[in-house]
Structure formats: C-alpha cells, structure tokens
Amino acid sequence: MAVLTKITVVKAVRRAYGPEHADKVAPKLPEHIDLDDPADVAVLFKLGLTPDGLFNALGGEL
C-alpha cells in the first residue's frame, strides 16, 4: 500500500474518529507507518486502527 507519516495518520484519525482518539494515539505512533510492515500494522491494531480504515479515512488517497 504505502508508507504514511505520523502527521498524515493523526489527521486521518482526527477526521474519522474525532480529536480525542487522535490525541490518544498520536504519542504511540512511530514517525512513519508502513502499511505493508506487519509490525507497523500490529501497532495500528493495538490502537484500534486498521490499514483499510486509514485508507478510507484518507478518502482512498494512498
């Protein structure tokens, strides 16, 4: 899929899930998230996020 920056992910989470959730997950995200890397995907799942959910929150812009 793609490698996203932390800023991009936080913006997508803010838009899709609200500012409270974005503020909660932001400190736990790495600076870059590789949606093809199982370790990065595992971090997303622990935070209640999925690659498909991020993709949809970004409007399919990946």
Give tens-digit pLDDT for 40-54.
Answer: 999 999 999 988 888
User: With left for phi above 0 and alpha for psi between -120 and 50, is residue 10 left, alpha or beta?
Assistant: alpha
d(CA 33, CA 3): 5
Q: Which residues pair with 34 in a beta bridge?
A: 3
Say whether pLDDT at 60 is over 80: no
Say whether pLDDT at 1 is over 60: no
d(CA 52, CA 30): 18
Q: What is the pTM of this model?
A: 0.83
